[in-house]
Amino acid sequence: MNKKERYAYILDYFRQEMPEVQTELEFGSVFQLLVAVILSAQCTDKRINQVTPELFRRFPDAHAMAQADADEIFEYIRSVSYPNAKAAHLSQMARMLVERHHGEVPSDMRQLLDLPGVGRKTANVIQSVAFGKSTMAVDTHVFRVSHRLGLVAKKADTPYHVEKELVKNIPAEDIPRAHHWLLLHGRYVCTSRRPHCERCGLSGVCPSVCLSSTHGENSIQP
């Protein structure tokens, strides 16, 4: 199976299995999505969804959050990972939105990356989920699954390299969904330590399964 055939097979599988797919983060506006994505770094969506209801009741938009300092925001997010840094980023980010963008989240990549706490992955999520752009956010799940399924070369050793290779090979109309397909597959099936190959519909074309059957399950690489 060559690369073109591999992509076609895997994408067709996901189209059938998950025709309608979206982020598991809960939000009510583009601003709230941005806040949730910033908070989700190295933290589960489940934990973020437990924290954000109270946070959004207190700070429903950028104008409200811009009036708060990091210490006040910290009290609402103290149970997430790196709460001190994230509280500072949220406070600074909200103020910048108010000062530069009238409280609205911009759709431009460069303007998003200028915001405190926003890296390329977060910016790609916002562009895709909020604005429907064909951008591929690469988190640890997408990175791992892309390698295990043989969608990207071993030399694609950074999230940016994986992003570029995926975007090059996935049809533009599928890219927004493909991010969620790969992420959810990694979160629930192709998990990091113990992938559930026995219930994976892609095991028949997965090169990592072949490696596992030859050398043992622990040989599957992240």
Residue among 4, 121, 154, 174 flagged as catalytic:
121
- Distance of alpha carbon 175 from alpha carbon 72, whole angstroms: 38
More confident of the two residues 210 and 177: 177
Q: Which one from 12, 86, 114, 139 is the annotated catalytic residue?
A: 139
Q: Which residues contact 146 (CB under 8 A, 6 or more apart)?
A: 138, 152, 156, 162, 165, 166, 182
pLDDT in tens, 118-143: 999 999 999 999 999 999 999 999 99
pLDDT digits (tens, 9 = 90+) for 40-82: 998 999 999 999 999 999 999 999 999 999 999 999 999 999 9
Q: What residue has token string 């397909």?
A: 181
Q: In whole angstroms, what is the distance from residue 120 CA to residue 113 CA?
A: 7
CATH topology of domain 30-131: Endonuclease III; domain 1 (1.10.340)
CA distance 185 to 132: 21
Average pLDDT, the chain: 93
CATH topology of domain 136-219: Endonuclease Iii, domain 2 (1.10.1670)
Q: pLDDT class for 210, splitting at 50, 70, 90? A: low
Residues of the chain with CATH 1.10.1670.10: 136-219
Catalytic residue check, 121:
yes
Segments of the chain assigned to CATH 1.10.340.30: 30-131
pLDDT value of position 218: 41
The overall pTM is greater than 0.85: yes
The answer to whether residue 156 scores a pLDDT higher than 60 is yes
The pLDDT value recorded for residue 213 is 46
pLDDT at 1: 87
Distance CA 167, CA 68 (A): 39
Give the per-residue pLDDT at 215: 41
Q: How far is CA 109 from the centre of its chain?
A: 16
Cα 106 versus chain centre, distance: 18
Q: Which pLDDT score is estimated for 198?
A: 92
What is the separation, in whole angstroms, between the first and last Cα of the chain? 22
